[in-house]
Structure 1
Amino acid sequence: MRLAQHLFTTLSCLLLLLQAEAQNSPAPLKLVDILLTPDSKDWIYAVNQQASVEVTVLQYGVPQEGAQISFEVGPELLPPDKKGELTLRKGSGKLSVGTSKEPGFRQLVVKTEINGKTYSNTVKLAFSPEKIMPTVPMPADFAAFWEKAKAEAATVPLDPQYTHLPAYSTATIDVYLVSLQSFQKGKRLYGYLSKPKAPGKYPVLFSPPGAGIKPMNPQTGFAEQGFISFTTEIHGLSPQLDSDTYKSISTAFGDYWLNKLDDKDNYYYKGVYLGCVRAIDFLSSLPEFDGKNIVVTGGSQGGALAIVTAGLDKRVTALAAFYPALSDMTGYLHGRAGGWPHLLAPRQQHTNNTPVKLNTISYYDVVNFAKQLTVPGFYSWGYNDNTCPPTSVYAAINAVKASKTIVITPISGHWRFEETNQQSLEWLKKQLK
């Protein structure tokens, strides 16, 4: 009887906790929605073709008759060439987005005010995006520059150091914190290694990180799918530092992507790119490696590094990259959006639009690594991404001559659907030999 009462009390407390958590969690729906529906089902138009968007303002899921909207239309991430206001008499109305004379994207930004609060939404439409060509030049000594850098890094002993992490390991997966020497003696690269416990030979997977200086946790999902995975950070910091320490480092360090941009031989990303190659050195040295399959995958900065790694290291057999950053960064100098970190956006041009910095960018732009790819790739991105704008991503992926599988989810921004994640994983499995 006492046990039953104890169980009843425990379950009642748990139910109350779950109810409180649900009450305090963010609402899954928006109070006011602005639906933007292009008149092309795939959001793609031909150059010089007129495009329009149906605008509907919903409150509680119901079109709001007489809703007042303001709107701006123009090239992606650049000043608008058209502004206006419109009353949606029946809760919806059609707006012209115009057209583009060149391959690229135009965007529509719509705002409305209801009960003193402003709501907004954005949609981007593509015009012959398969014809978007890169703007960044290819240095004549690009291949020689990187071959020399890789050769120098290869002379540095890896010196891997392992710390087993029982708290993150599972019944079937062992997780380790790994530190190894990167491109110079004393420069360490940290990451989490996840390995299946069952004896055998396995494909290896390298997963570089997105942008930022922040803590990270191990990912055991790839190991559960039969890979030995190595998920790294890029700054030479232990990923187990607490968040306050990371925050203070990030604040003090600032925008690392600007560090020595005026020196191509010592630019910050040189060590990062070489660190990715060293990660492949490490994975391919593991006794459990099957000796055949090396894949890389990531999103944003991680998507960029996946392409860079596969472009630099011919041991890589396949890659999956989501909305890669650092792509066609010179786009802004040609009247269109450039890639993250937007080094040449109008507000940055007074400091970064110099011959020496443009020269450095050409050695590190993802476009020029995409041109080096020789293995199959899975690439996915959305059109509503303002961080890694689709114009810049298309410029990179259109430059790929190797086999490519492209999955576009136009409605997504700087994120991806779980269905697309699963699709990329199944694709990677099919590439295994």
Structure 2
Amino acid sequence: MLATLPIEIIQEIFLNLDDLGTLKEAALCCRTLYEAFLAIEELLTTTILHRQIHPSVLPDAINTHVSFSIPSSDTEAVNRFSTDYLNTKKILPSKWKLANALPLSLFHQFVDYFATRLSSMGLEDSPSYLREPPCQANPTESEILRIQRALYRFQLYRNMFGTLITDPGRQRELMFRYFSTFENEQLASVNDLLLCAIAEPYNDLVDHDIHWGSMRVSYLEPYDSEQGDYILSKGLEYLFHLTQTKSYTERRRLLSLDDFNFGYDDEPGRLVQFMKWSLSWAGSPDWDYQDFSFDNLDEESMAFHIGKPFYDDGDEGPVTAWKLGDYLVADPSLMRWRRWGYVFWDMSRLENSGIIEKGLSEDSGFRRLRTTEAENRRLFESQEEREKIERAGGSGWWSFKDQSKVQWKCQQGRTKVQMPWGGVQGSSGSRGHF
């Protein structure tokens, strides 16, 4: 039906598509649609790309896209990238071909998803003493865009340094120094919020997977989590798919122990000294001055030590909030505030909330971060039970109230699955009934 329309109508419909992936699918439907696309390919691609990725975010998107092709183990390649794309800001293309723009569009879907989700997570965990109506308002466009830029920097860090243990001073020279100090604190905030986002699927296996119970795998810690850092180091696309999982089978597949190359004795993988550790050492321009103080600095000196933002949107909210935190970057004492997203909010939100007058009080009424003693005791008891089951040949999903999904191995190498009605079903090569 669409192919029977005049070419001008088809092109107008194309111009109003939401993303470039949809444009590609539409253009490949038939020869008529493809020819309509080819006639104005650059106009279509450029219009849709700029509508999907805001101009203030596009430089970060381009840098991140280029960084995917750089092996983090290639020191010289990382050095060249830092010089060519961070030290020297590129002039953005005025026109785009679909083949060049499509990868940016596809990856931006992950960035857009997490920007929306992390902003909601932060605002839902607002400190109880703040005045609620302005604090609970939906995030503004400028707030979402700040989170998007920080998410791109998160992926950029992962692409540049990977899982390698790299000297913080080198990371500062290659990346951190090109961003203001409050932008580096935004990066730490994204790290903390992403850890919250992956906690649900991860802790679900901690509670129910028989092997993880036998190995005494613990819950993700809110700040110092080597297991959490390892998962975060896999990047936004992996994290997106992990957060979309609903079933034990899906989560077990993505968090497969075979994939945890840094694990010990077949337990989930660990990564020491990932992003936040480096940020806490080198995220500030004065990281190597032991007794440096911001007290009594004049305006010019303060601006120098804060650093020039990679992108300045003109709102004083992020830098004002960062100053309330005693000019720190990735400090454990500010974790609760980073999980609120304090360095992302507009000045108007901060003023309406009363936070500027009240300050970043430790007794802020946030939801608790760590598990209680009762929860840890319950976990220990379940781990004891799961260890017994594994020694007896069981595997899979288990809970105190439901043991029907435990898989049992027979002597012949077949798997018996405990059925809900108490019987046993044999299966060869099957992962069992869930």
TM-score (norm 2): 0.23
Q: Greater helix percent: which structure? A: 2
Structure with more contact order per residue of length (Cα contacts < 8 Å, sep ≥ 6): 2
